Structure 1
Amino acid sequence: MRLGNVQRVTTDGTMELSVTVTSEDGASADRLWYRFPERFADRVTDALDPFVIAALFASIRRGEDLHAAGPVTATLLDNLEEFQAAWAQWRPGRYTPIRVTADQELPDREGPDDRSAIQTFSGGVDSAFTTVRHVRRTAGRSALNLTGAVMVHGFDIPLTDTEAYESLQRRSTPLLATVGVELIPVATNFRELWHSDLADWEDAFGTGMVSVLTLFSGWYRHGLIASSEPYGSLLLPWGSNPMSDWMLSGGRLRVHHDAAGVDRSDKVAGLSVAWPEGADNLRVCWQGEHKDRNCGRCEKCIRTILNFRVAGRPLPKAFGQDVTDEQIRSLRGLSEAHINPLRQILATAREKGVKDDWTVALEEAVRANEDELARGVSYAGGFPQLATGPAAA
């Protein structure tokens, strides 16, 4: 595969950066693009690092070498060799290591490190906790000067759903501003172009997030990816994890997998105390009809509600209604990635001596899904099934 030169087009205050990606035999070509407000143009890198990161999984899935017709930092090229080695071990039947080259190799950025940082922000528990632990300086020596956040249109919110994305952006911009973080809205066809299949997406979404962060490495030196699993319950392979995320660092942006030392129930407890506005505006749902709010019936919504419950914290305003025991029991079609966080909630409940009807219901749901997974039972579309019935009043 070959990445062409970056094309920059500005229309009505929106800047689009794109490259043409040509297949090894030249028989096909794709166009990968990113769009964002023109006022952020001075923060964009002059290197092709973000496009190389974005194209990597498509290349190793096809087994085609990747060449960039422009400058790429040498540090990124070094790190991508290790990144590929990890994924080739994790999924040997799916990915083949390739050579990644560039017309020009750039040195690392010079000068003192001001610890300026940008994060990905979805409005969920993990990203909101990362926000507050850095702006409140509770992250210890790892605390960074977090002042920017990218919210991506085209990942969990499809490009066709502009209404939901704009609604979420309108809510998140002033919310982040209250803690001194500026939201940068970015749209990209990364997922739609190469990773529309769920299995491909679950491997590649981390490279998608880092590619967007790296886009703005002309300004920021550090990029934060919020952890989705704690160290004690890691699930591998998974598209974002503490073992391989750092391998996506280049010479202009160091990537950090953030807060894997904190489990999700402790995150919601900390968030509800340190940033209650963040808790009240959580958006964790990706399966509901309205992507800018929480449906209260999908696995992610139910899991988060139970996180607050087991943490002993009141349900935030982000969830209009609580969940019933029957809804917990009705969860089906869960993959290992969805069962694992539910096991963590059960473990926390046991540690705290919590034994209630809802924990029994959760144990039954976990056992039922483990059994179906072992027997190879699948559901239409391969997605978790929504809980039956409306949420409880």
Structure 2
Amino acid sequence: MTHELRILPPEVHSPHRTTLKAVLSTAADRKIHQYMDIESTGNVDIDEDDLADAWCIFFIHKMMETGGEFSVTGPGCLSRSLLVNLDRYAEAWNRWMPETFHRITIRSSAMRDDSTVPQREEAISCFSGGLDACFTAYRHRKGLAGPQALNLTACVMFQGADIAESNQEHFDKAFSKANELLEDIGIRQFYRLRTNFREMGMDYEMTYHTMLMGGMRVFTSRFGYFMAGSEGSYDSFSYPWASNPITDHYLGSHSKEAVTDGMGYDRTEKAAVVAQWDKAMSLLRCCWEGEDASGNCGICTKCRLTIMNFMAMGVPRDRIACMPRNAMNEDISQIQFNRPFRVLYAQEILKHAKANGLGKEPWVTTLERRLAEKDLPPTGMGSKIRRLFQRS
């Protein structure tokens, strides 16, 4: 059963705005229309030859949901090294979630051997203004990444990710804050990319990373590295999850490397680095539950945990100016530890707070008591490995 991924020619509205479109047509006559509308104060340089690579990454989970063979048509050539990597990517996800994601075959009449294509030195990164994004941008621009340092010269913010595609007012405000942060560290090229990715109706927590990597992949005329900040550290990741150290690198190719940055740090350790950046302490945005999506509510679980990430590393509360209120003891006691990653983040905070001599602080003792109140869901790789061997 053959399906089609049809890529349409770019719609160039001006040097500063281009719209990309593609349609996934299944053998059952279902058509899934997707777009990426890209704007920038600078030029929007799209490499039309790489559109096939970008859209295959973007649609990979929807193709796996459908299963079967896919023919890629329209502008662009599919890179052989990416085709191999996407096949490995699909293998892994099929093993993890066989009832949801199926093996697929991707074919294109326009293939290119990219084994001799030189890799460009510049990097582009996702940037939402959150803790992970700020950590990645700051450490690469300030020479804090050691041998991993990349020449980060541009960033992109996705409208349709944590801020709804239709919420133009809040996205514009969040984009303005993020742009101010990037200008503070010398990044002048900042793209906004609006997409209807969520309309595909997939589990966002399992699929969002392909939206980010597929979206950035269209900017290949300058960049050899496509970077996203990690959500967790090597010793805490869970799978299946959209971004993980097992499959993320399969979303790159020979000369276009997909980089998940910062997995050697947990969120509290990242906060210690970001605390060196005064502008971020005023403008960082991590909240997705508040009424105003352009800022932080200060009372949701993520806001409370982020405040404690900084405080656990000895950052005074009054320096966390991006948050409108304190994580008081009564707020901590109200946190719902009903998801494993929340428990994990809180445990990391507690560990660092005690290591930094803050174990007797009222907020620390309240957090410790809250974590001990009931049995907690297992977290991280250790518990998954133990369960695997218990079943064998």
User: Above 0.5 in TM-score?
Assistant: yes
Report the Cα distance in structure 2 between the residues aligned to 1:67 and 1:180, rounded to whole angstroms: 42
SS at structure 1 position matched to 2:11: strand
Within the alignment, does 1:188 sit opposite 2:161 as a pair? no
| One of 271, 282, 291 as aligned partner of 1:268 | 271
1:326 corresponding residue in structure 2: 330
| One of 345, 351, 359 as aligned partner of 1:347 | 351
SS at structure 2 position matched to 1:33: strand
Amino acid at match of 2:152: L
Structure 1 residue 137, shift from structure 2 partner: 1.5
Q: Mark the CA change 1:277 to 1:15 in structure 2 (over 3 Å): closer, same or farther.
A: same
Aligned residues: CA RMSD: 2.1
Q: Which runs of 5+ in 2 are unaligned?
A: 379-392
Alignment check: 8 A CA contact 2:8 2:21 kept? yes
Structure 1 residue 86, shift from structure 2 partner: 1.8
Report the Cα distance in structure 2 between the residues aligned to 1:112 and 1:279, rounded to whole angstroms: 39
Worse overlay, 259-268 or 159-168: 259-268
Alignment check: 8 A CA contact 2:332 2:367 kept? yes
| One of 234, 245, 269 as aligned partner of 1:242 | 245
Q: Alpha-carbon deviations, 1:246-278, whole Å to 9, x = none?
A: 1100345211111111221121111111x2212
Q: Which runs of 5+ in 1 are unaligned?
A: 375-393
Q: Alpha-carbon deviations, 1:142-197, whole Å to 9, x = none?
A: 111100000000010001110010011122223212222121111011123333xx
Report the Cα distance in structure 2 between the residues aligned to 1:76 and 1:45, rounded to whole angstroms: 16
1:358 corresponding residue in structure 2: 363
Report the Cα distance in structure 1 between the residues aligned to 2:368 and 2:356, rounded to whole angstroms: 16
SS at structure 1 position matched to 2:306: helix
| One of 154, 170, 174 as aligned partner of 2:180 | 174
TM-score for both structures, normalised by structure 1: 0.87
| One of 297, 300, 305 as aligned partner of 1:298 | 300
Structure 1 residue 367, shift from structure 2 partner: 4.5
Moved beyond 4 Å, runs of 4+: 109-112, 367-371
Alignment check: 8 A CA contact 2:20 2:36 kept? yes
Report the Cα distance in structure 2 between the residues aligned to 1:32 and 1:251, rounded to whole angstroms: 26
List aligned pairs for 1:113-192, cutoff 5 A. Answer: 113-181=119-187, 182-192=189-199
TM-score for both structures, normalised by structure 2: 0.88
Report the Cα distance in structure 2 between the residues aligned to 1:100 and 1:117, rounded to whole angstroms: 28
2:10 corresponding residue in structure 1: 8
SS at structure 2 position matched to 1:180: coil
Worse overlay, 111-120 or 151-160: 111-120
Structure 1 residue 132, shift from structure 2 partner: 0.9
Report the Cα distance in structure 1 between the residues aligned to 2:308 and 2:375, rounded to whole angstroms: 19
Query: What percent identity do the matched residue pairs reach?
Result: 27
2:383 corresponding residue in structure 1: none
Aligned length: 367
Within the alignment, does 1:88 sit opposite 2:94 as a pair? yes
Alignment check: 8 A CA contact 2:120 2:222 kept? no
Q: Mark the CA change 1:369 to 1:9 in structure 2 (over 3 Å): closer, same or farther.
A: farther
1:79 corresponding residue in structure 2: 85
Amino acid at match of 2:39: P
SS at structure 1 position matched to 2:45: helix
Report the Cα distance in structure 1 between the residues aligned to 2:344 and 2:71, rounded to whole angstroms: 38
Amino acid at match of 1:62: T
Report the Cα distance in structure 2 between the residues aligned to 1:281 and 1:314, rounded to whole angstroms: 16
